[in-house]
Amino acid sequence: MRTTVLAFAALAMALGIAPVSAADTDPALLTKATALMEKDFQSRGIAKVERLKQDDVMSLCTQYRGALPADVAKRVQAEQMATIKFPADGKYMGDWKNGDKIAQSGRGATWSDKPDTVNGGGCYNCHRVSGTELSYGTIGPSLYQFGKLRGGPTEANMKYVYGKLYNSQAYVPCSNMPRFGYHGVLTEAQIKDLVALLLDPESIVNQ
């Protein structure tokens, strides 16, 4: 049982989810859990075992159990902010209808997908997105009427949403939200479509 909990904690961390259990702060237990994961998980197709490796931010979030000291948080944020590639053409908004499809698609990046499989964003797993969804997760805040409530597609809002989707850790260190652009899960065009989904006054989100 303990091993299962540990393995789950290690997997959650590897996937970029902040630590959930006290066990993950014990170096000996963490080493054991990591060894178990490496033994049990094999690379298959595009799903490589390397995904289990935590980068600098995830390691720090594990070490500090998701609550980074202010100076560390500041450094992490600055480093993550520097990774964001904002659109070269200066345009942040695409097509909200495409954005809706991306938000409601949870597919991609599994062993049975091909390298050219178009990934979804799976936003519905954690957020309420529109007023018409049958079900949605609540790990993240509701995004329903996001644009309406935040003042619409201003330059600052568009840049914020684009950046947030590209690399959530640049805004909230140890966030549970995946880093979609940083990890190459979503393309620039897809992120633009999602910016439109949240901020375009015509979008289903803002009705």
Q: Is 15 in the site for ligand HEC (CB under 6 A)?
A: no
Binders of ligand HEC in range 106-145 (CB under 6 A): 121-123, 125-127, 139-141, 143
CB of 2 to ligand HEC, least distance (A): 25
- Cα–Cα–Cα angle for 62, 55, 46, rounded to 5 degrees: 120
Q: Is 29 in the site for ligand HEC (CB under 6 A)?
A: no
Residue from 9, 33, 68, 194 in contact with ligand HEC (CB under 6 A): 194
Which stretch in 25-33, 67-75, 78-86, 172-180 sits in contact with ligand HEC by CB under 6 A?
Answer: 172-180
Residue from 14, 30, 68, 161 in contact with ligand HEC (CB under 6 A): 161
Q: Is 63 in the site for ligand HEC (CB under 6 A)?
A: no
> Quick one: tokens of 74?
């500041």
Which stretch in 33-41, 53-61, 110-118, 162-170 sits in contact with ligand HEC by CB under 6 A?
Answer: 162-170
Angle at which helices 56-63 and 70-81 pack, to 10 degrees?
160
Q: What span, in angstroms and rounded, lies between the C-alpha atoms of 107 and 187? A: 15
* Cα→Cα distances 118→63, 115, 184, 202, Å: 34, 9, 11, 25
The residues binding ligand HEC (CB under 6 A) are 103, 121-123, 125-127, 139-141, 143, 161, 164-165, 168, 172, 175-178, 180, 194, 198
